[in-house]
A and B are shown apart, each in its own frame.
Chain A
Amino acid sequence: EAGVTQSPTHLIKTRGQQATLRCSPISGHTSVYWYQQALGLGLQFLLWYDEGEERNRGNFPPRFSGRQFPNYSSELNVNALELEDSALYLCASTAGLARTGELFFGEGSRLTVL
């Protein structure tokens, strides 16, 4: 069974540009989470989608947005990139509301903002 897949693996952008990161959950999983992992800050919750709807949002500015598609895949968009957006962005999936603590993570997309 394929795990959570993320693309691209690495992405280099300059300040002010936009970045789009993609995630495919494990087959049968309907919930997708996005986390930002910056050095020394652990995993910071960004967004949670379930059945196509945004369920919860972390303390990030509105330029961080995303969506979930009918096939449950998801994308994260970061507009007006700033240097401090450089981080590893992790996507995770879970089998719906009953399993919200049991996340299966992908290997992440490393975003570098120059």
Chain B
Amino acid sequence: QQQVKQSPQSLIVQKGGISIINCAYENTAFDYFPWYQQFPGKGPALLIAIRPDVSEKKEGRFTISFNKSAKQFSLHIMDSQPGDSATYFCAARNFGNEKLTFGTGTRLTIIP
């Protein structure tokens, strides 16, 4: 059962633009929502994370927006750069069993 739905599957953004990736969940037992970034040939790396008691978290050009009532969260990449081209995974942790469930990933390409 897919518990974290991620969209879009792929995204092309011009350099300097804003990249937006969305995720939705249904399980109210999720208590921690990280985003991971994966470059080709590498394992995923933690990028930024948020807990449901805040609506937004910003780290540099990366911002997570969290809507608890809608059970949705999104990653915004401001001033997108070619070096941001990677696959991004949202995830959610179940506080009951500590399991981290990942979305299916978004392949982001930043073009000049």
Q: List chain A positions with a Cβ less than 8 A from chain B.
A: 4, 33, 35, 40-45, 48, 55-56, 58, 90, 92, 97, 100-108
Q: When the two chains form their complex, are residues B100 and A101 in contact, meaning their CB atoms are under 8 A apart?
A: yes
Chain B's closest residue to A3 (CB) is: B43
Q: Which residues of B contact A92 (CB under 8 A)?
A: 43
> When chains A and B are docked, how far (Å) is the Cα of A101 from the Cα of B45?
12
User: What are 6 A-B pairs at a CB distance below 8 A?
Assistant: A45-B102, A48-B98, A90-B43, A101-B34, A107-B41, A108-B43
Count residues on chain B whose CB falls below 8 Å from chain A CBs. 23
Q: When the two chains form their complex, are residues A43 and B32 in contact, meaning their CB atoms are under 8 A apart?
A: no
Chain B's closest residue to A45 (CB) is: B99
Q: When the two chains form their complex, are residues A100 and B93 in contact, meaning their CB atoms are under 8 A apart?
A: yes
Q: Which residues of A contact B99 (CB under 8 A)?
A: 45, 48, 56, 58
Q: When the two chains form their complex, are residues B98 and A107 in contact, meaning their CB atoms are under 8 A apart?
A: no
Q: Which residues of A contact B91 (CB under 8 A)?
A: 101
Q: Which of B41, B44, B93, B97 has the most CB of A within 10 A?
A: B44
Q: Which of B34, B45, B102, B104 has the most CB of A within 10 A?
A: B102
Q: When the two chains form their complex, are residues B49 and A43 in contact, meaning their CB atoms are under 8 A apart?
A: no
Q: Which residues of B contact A44 (CB under 8 A)?
A: 102
Q: When the two chains form their complex, are residues B42 and A107 in contact, meaning their CB atoms are under 8 A apart?
A: yes
Q: Is B73 an interface residue (CB 8 A)?
A: no
CB distance from B94 to the nearest CB of A (A): 9
Interface residues of B in 79-98 (CB under 8 A from A): 89, 91, 93, 97-98
Q: Which residues of B contact A33 (CB under 8 A)?
A: 100
Q: When the two chains form their complex, are residues A43 and B34 in contact, meaning their CB atoms are under 8 A apart?
A: no
